[in-house]
Amino acid sequence: MMCGTEWWLSFVAIVVTSFLQGVHTIRITKIEVPPILKVGGSGELDCVWEEDNDHMYSIKWYQAAQEFYRYTPTSSEPIQIFDPPTLDVDGGRSWGGSVRITNVSQTATGPFHCEVSADGPTFHTASEQANLTVVDTPDEEPEIQGVESHYSSGDWIDINCTSRRSHPPAQLSFSVNNQPAPLGWTEPQRDTTDENGLTTSVLRLHFYLAPRLLQDGQARIRCYSEIPGVYEKWTEEVIMTSRPYHASVLDGATAGCSVTTFGSLWLLALLLFHSSNTPYL
């Protein structure tokens, strides 16, 4: 009976010890990944852990299921880099749980995992993840199309704005005289994605050119292209309601007319003077 009691107490002690060790194991306290990067850009990954009763043996970084970095402080070569196709690792600027990634591709979008493993006898492992989004910005500034060289008050304005080849699609918007265009003046944005996963976006603006919209005979139209947090560009076109003229031509004509008129008046005055001083026969 005594032997059975001793066995039971030993079993309970082992269970309690294992439980307490489980409470105080290696754990990750912080993981930081840039939420957004541009294609070809660079960023810092950071993983911080606490050991408690454990001792860290290695730390690894994964992009999705692909391990690309390992730090083992007890190894003759503490840092190992396994170049994935989605990014490069700057080994000279990486150490411990901090990793600098460069030249990221669009396919690097997704979860990044940090895994910290403890040495024996526990060999506990902790893992946390954070997501990164890689964006491909438009090739160029947005382009406004369909603007005529001349308009009259009350004319119908119908133009498009195009932002080419981005991922995710750019968000387009218009302003008229620096005021957001009313919702009824635009149509839903049209997005077309090519075989490379890049999207060209088009937004249509149409409205009547009311006199109240004209400032010195003009109205200014801007189109904005934006990927929040990463990219914002705009372009502007001016709606003209007076035809352009060549000032030099008109000024020359006016000057010529003034000289001719002045000469004619001078000749007439001279003839009248001579007439008044000529004696009658």
Predicted confidence at residue 122, as pLDDT, reads: 86
The answer, yes or no, to whether residue 22 has pLDDT greater than 80, is: no
| Position 257 in a domain | no
Average pLDDT over residues 46-56: 89
Average pLDDT over residues 243-272: 45
Verify that 68 and 107 share a domain, yes or no.
Answer: yes
CA 44 to chain CA mean position, Å: 19
Average pLDDT over residues 139-156: 94
The CATH number of the domain holding residue 67 is 2.60.40.10
Average pLDDT over residues 128-157: 95
The answer, yes or no, to whether residue 274 has pLDDT greater than 90, is: no
Average pLDDT over residues 248-275: 45
The answer, yes or no, to whether residue 144 has pLDDT greater than 80, is: yes
Verify that 40 and 67 share a domain, yes or no.
Answer: yes
Residues near 24 by beta carbon (within 8 Å), at least 6 away in sequence: 52, 53
Predicted confidence at residue 4, as pLDDT, reads: 55
Average pLDDT over residues 179-189: 96
Domain span including residue 88: 26-135
Predicted confidence at residue 19, as pLDDT, reads: 45
Average pLDDT over residues 184-211: 96
Split at pLDDT 50, 70, 90, the class of 247 is very low
Q: Which two tokens stand for residue 39?
A: 């294609």
Mark which of 135, 156, 182 sits at the end of a domain: 135
Q: Alpha helices, DSSP H only, in 176-219?
A: none
Percent of the chain with pLDDT over 90: 68
Predicted confidence at residue 272, as pLDDT, reads: 52
Q: Are strands 125-135 and 36-38 parallel, antiparallel or unpaired?
A: parallel
The answer, yes or no, to whether residue 246 has pLDDT greater than 90, is: no
Q: Which of 78-92, 139-153, 176-190, 244-258 has the lowest mean pLDDT?
A: 244-258
Verify that 147 and 227 share a domain, yes or no.
Answer: yes
Q: Which two tokens stand for residue 191?
A: 């997005």
Structurally, the chain folds into a number of domains equal to 2
Predicted confidence at residue 34, as pLDDT, reads: 95
| Position 247 in a domain | no
Chain segment 56-77, per-residue pLDDT in tens: 999 999 999 999 999 999 999 9
Query: How high is the mean pLDDT of the chain?
Result: 84
Q: Which two tokens stand for residue 25?
A: 């194991």
Question: Cα–Cα distance between 47 and 43 in angstroms, integer?
Answer: 14
Verify that 127 and 154 share a domain, yes or no.
Answer: no
Split at pLDDT 50, 70, 90, the class of 21 is very low
Mark which of 104, 135, 166 sits at the end of a domain: 135
Predicted confidence at residue 5, as pLDDT, reads: 56
Torsion angles phi and psi, residue 53, rounded to 5: -80, -10
Comparison of pLDDT for 111 and 121, the residue scoring more: 111
The answer, yes or no, to whether residue 120 has pLDDT greater than 90, is: no
Comparison of pLDDT for 5 and 150, the residue scoring more: 150
The answer, yes or no, to whether residue 195 has pLDDT greater than 60, is: yes
Predicted confidence at residue 229, as pLDDT, reads: 84
- SS3 assignment for 9-26: HHHHHHHHHHHHHHHCCC
Q: Are strands 88-89 and 98-102 parallel, antiparallel or unpaired?
A: antiparallel
Q: Is the peptide bond before 168 cis (omega within 30 degrees of 0)?
A: yes
The answer, yes or no, to whether residue 93 has pLDDT greater than 70, is: yes
Verify that 125 and 170 share a domain, yes or no.
Answer: no
Average pLDDT over residues 152-159: 95
Split at pLDDT 50, 70, 90, the class of 46 is very high
| Position 258 in a domain | no
